[in-house]
Amino acid sequence: MIKEDCIFCKIANGQIPSNSIYEDDDFNVILDVSPASRGHALIVPKVHYDNAYGMDETFAAKVFPLAVKMAKAMKKALDCDGINILQNNEEAAGQTVFHFHTHLIPRYKDDEVDVTWKQHASVAEEQIAITKQIKEEL
Ligand code: 5GP
Ligand code: ZN
């Protein structure tokens, strides 16, 4: 399904031009218009999903193989030192475009891209409770 007034629906389906580096029946992979690093790309499905939660699992299973294919080609083409493959869901997690997409962020030694987080000590009882809570929802 395509969503009216969704910019990524339009880009993925070619109604708005982009620097597309790969296209198939399900996806367009485009260069990010405001790249975090040289070659920053986005895997954008042609159908609309706000984020990962609503995704059909069969469709979701197509995303990572494509991410791997793209990462291999980008690693060779860009001669980068690493690649972050990441995906944000909802505003609190940093999502700003509410059409599911996966970032491929090439990394270069000493670049200033920041995808780090502060780590905390875990509490054993809490970890056990969290484990139980999540497993109950599966
Ligand atoms: P998010 O923050 O939702 O995970 O990532 C959205 C990404 O889409 C950002 O990195 C942003 O630069 C990129 N972006 C937003 N609008 C456009 C656009 O019109 N064209 C392209 N190519 N990228 C876009
Ligand atoms: Zn959309």
3-state secondary structure of 65: helix
Identify the H or E element spanning 79.
Answer: none
Which of 40, 101, 103, 120 is catalytic? The answer is 101
Average pLDDT rounded to a whole number, residues 91-106: 98
pLDDT tens figures, 54-76: 999 999 999 999 999 999 999 99
Question: Ligand 1: which of 6, 40, 42 to mutate, most ligand atoms within 8 Å of CB?
Answer: 42
Could you confirm whether 101 is annotated as catalytic?
Answer: yes
pLDDT tens figures, 1-57: 899 899 999 999 999 999 999 999 999 999 999 999 999 999 999 999 999 999 999
Q: How far is CA 110 from CA 40, 41, 53, 80, 90, in A?
A: 16, 20, 34, 11, 29
